[in-house]
């Protein structure tokens, strides 16, 4: 519900998480971890004082990639693995926008792995929220890039023989300047991690354990609740990339969540002279006459 208050003599609109609810209700399976991620994203925007028209949410393909349809902002449902490429173009065209990219582990770390690496390297100012359920859910249960070694799925009935991708160490080694991991069953903690990622100037990854209750019966809510431990409780130093990688590789009775790594740096928009001056490209004069613009449009029709 929208509320209004008066601050310094001016009326200020205050939004709540419900104001970021989309017109379409989620069709995820009951108990899916993605509900928690959507809740955290809505809370993030309300608590940061963002407005729907100031936000763009971009996704690829998969169960989790349906999120833009359930979230009240500008949104794009793009191609499998290509969400970061599309989001980069949008951010460079209008860097005033707060840009979220949402998707799953298959979309982001599998077919989209190349874009993941280079988006981190370029330090584009995006907040990338990956719902990591360690399986392909939309296609009913095949191995994904983050599936555990030995995991039995429809595509690996005798157990996976492939070592899983580690998104945290991958992001750090490729140059990401904000790298965190959350758990969808702890919405309050996840909200704080996403908020910090939005505030951070540069590429922000929030990898989220988001259990698939239908097709992944190994990495369940009870599995994570018994194991997740917050880095903040151990006073972890997020400027220490080596310790961050060591803790990210732990996978046993203790699995860490929280902010693994962060460093201050110059974002791509600030580093690119054409973008750093004169404001967003989308707000600048076109540089063509009306006649030239119409000729180009006619050739494209």
Instruction: Encode pLDDT of 283-298 as tens digits.
Output: 888 788 989 989 999 9
pLDDT at 220: 96
- Residue 38 CA, distance from chain mean position: 11
Give the angle subtended at the CA of 62 by the CAs of 132 and 203, to the nearest 5°: 55
* Rounded-to-integer distance, Cα 275 and Cα 93, Å: 9
- CA–CA distance, 217 with 242 (Å, rounded to integer): 32
Question: What are the residue ranges in the chain where pLDDT is below 50?
Answer: 5-8
Q: Which domains does the chain show, CATH number per domain?
A: 11-300 (3.40.50.970)
Query: pTM of the predicted model, to two decimals?
Result: 0.92
Pair of tokens at residue 162: 């492939």
DSSP 132-200: E-SSBTTTTSB--TTPPTT---SS-TT---SPPP-HHHHHHHTT-SEEEEEETT-HHHHHHHHHHHHHS
CA dist 295 → 283, 284, 290, 298, 300 (Å): 22, 20, 9, 5, 9
**Residues 260, 266, 270: CA angle, nearest 5 degrees:** 140
DSSP label at residue 63: S
Alpha-carbon separation of residue 160 from 42, 151, 232, 255 (angstroms): 36, 5, 33, 21
CA 60 to CA 58: how far, in whole Å? 7
Look at residue 292 and give its three-state secondary structure. helix
DSSP code at position 49: T
Model pLDDT, residue 6:
43
- On whether the CB atoms of residues 192 and 198 are closer than 8 A, the answer is no
Tokens of 81: 């693995």
Phi, psi of 168 (to 5 degrees): -70, -50
Side-chain half-sphere CA neighbours of 54 within 13 A? 9
Is the separation of the CB atoms in 199 and 189 below 8 Å?
no
Q: What pLDDT is stored for residue 4 in this prediction?
A: 52
Contacts of 156 (CB under 8 A, 6+ apart): 142, 143, 147
Query: Tokens 């969400």 correspond to what residue?
Result: 83
Please tell me the predicted confidence (pLDDT) of residue 208: 98
pLDDT of residue 7: 44
């Amino acid at each position: 519900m929208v509320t209004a208050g008066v601050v310094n003599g001016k009326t200020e609109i205050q939004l709540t998480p419900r104001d970021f609810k989309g017109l379409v209700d989620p069709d995820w399976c009951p108990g899916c971890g993605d509900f928690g991620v959507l809740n955290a994203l809505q809370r993030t925007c309300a608590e940061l004082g963002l407005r729907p028209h100031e936000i763009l949410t971009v996704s690829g393909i998969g169960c989790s990639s349906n999120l833009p349809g359930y979230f009240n902002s500008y949104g794009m449902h793009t191609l499998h693995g290509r969400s970061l490429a599309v989001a980069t173009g949008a951010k460079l065209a209008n860097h005033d926008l707060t840009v979220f990219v949402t998707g799953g582990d298959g979309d982001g770390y599998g077919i989209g792995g190349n874009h993941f690496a280079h988006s981190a390297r370029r330090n584009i100012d995006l907040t990338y929220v990956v719902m990591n359920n360690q399986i392909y859910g939309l296609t009913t249960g095949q191995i994904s890039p983050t599936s555990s070694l030995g995991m039995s799925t429809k595509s690996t009935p005798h157990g996976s023989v492939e070592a899983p991708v580690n998104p945290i160490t991958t992001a750090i080694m490729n140059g990401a300047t904000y790298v965190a991991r959350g758990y969808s069953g702890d919405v309050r903690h996840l909200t704080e991690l996403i908020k910090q990622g939005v505030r951070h100037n540069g590429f922000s990854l929030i990898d989220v354990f988001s259990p698939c209750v239908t097709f992944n019966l190994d990495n369940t809510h009870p599995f994570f609740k018994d194991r997740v431990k917050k880095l903040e409780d151990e006073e972890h130093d997020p400027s220490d990339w080596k310790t961050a990688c060591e803790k990210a590789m732990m996978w046993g009775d203790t699995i860490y969540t929280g902010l693994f790594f962060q460093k201050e740096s110059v974002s791509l928009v600030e580093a690119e002279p054409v973008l750093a001056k004169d404001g967003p490209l989308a707000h600048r004069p076109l540089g063509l006459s009306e006649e030239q613009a119409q000729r180009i449009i006619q050739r494209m029709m």
